[in-house]
Amino acid sequence: MDILYLLIPFSVVMVLLIVAVFGWAVNAGQLDGFEKEAERILLVEDQGA
């Protein structure tokens, strides 16, 4: 059970890392509009930017 003393702090650090990655994704606009992403394939390339 001693491994728990390593795993628990490790999992806490992992969780904080995941939160940071999600924060980056939100603020980079990846979750702004899901329809927009789906429709992008229908747009002419220079419009889709």
Partner 1 sequence: MSAPPPGLRAADADAQALAPFTTWPDGAGGVALSQFQVAGMHCAACSGLIEALLNKLPGVEAASVNAASARLALWWRPSQVALADVLAALQAAGYRASPDVAAPARELRRQEKRQALWRLFVAGFLMMQVMMLAAPAYVAEAGELSADLDRLLRWGSWVLTLPVMAFAAGPFFSGAWKQLRSGRLGMDVPVTVGLAVTFVASTGALFDPGGALGHEVYFDSLTMFVALLLLARWFELGARHRAADALEAVAGSLPTTAERLRDDGSSERVPPEVLRAGDRIRVAAGEAFAADGCVLAGQGFVNEALLTGESAPVAKAVGDAVVAGSISLDGSLVVAVQRVGADTTAQGIVRLMQQAQSQRSSAGGVVERVAAGFTAGVLLLALAAGIGWWWIDPSRAVAVAVAVLIVTCPCALTLAAPAAWLTASGALARRGLLLADLSALERLCDVDTVVFDKTGTLSEDRLQLRRHWAAEGVDADALLAMARSLAALSRHPHAQALADGSSGLWTEVRELAGRGVEARDANGLVWRLGAPAWVRANPDPAARLAFGCGDRVLWLDLAEAPRADAAEAVKALRAQGRRVRLLSGDQRAAVARMAAALDIAHWRAGATPESKLAAVREWQAAGERVLMVGDGINDAPVLAAADVRIAMGQGAMLARSAADALLLSNRLMAVPKALTLAVKTRRVLRQNLAWAALYNLACVPLALAGWLPPLAAGIGMACSSLFVVLNAQRLNR
Rg of the chain over Cα atoms, rounded to whole angstroms, equals 19
Question: How remote is the C-alpha of 30 from its chain's centroid?
Answer: 8
* Residue selected from 12, 39, 40, 43 as contacting partner 1 according to rule CB under 8 A: 12
Q: Does position 18 bind partner 1 by CB under 8 A?
A: yes
Our finding on whether 31 is near partner 1 (CB under 8 A) is yes
CA pair distance 37, 49, nearest whole angstrom: 11
Least Å distance between CB 20 and partner 1?
10
At its nearest, how many Å lie between partner 1 and the CB of residue 34?
Answer: 12
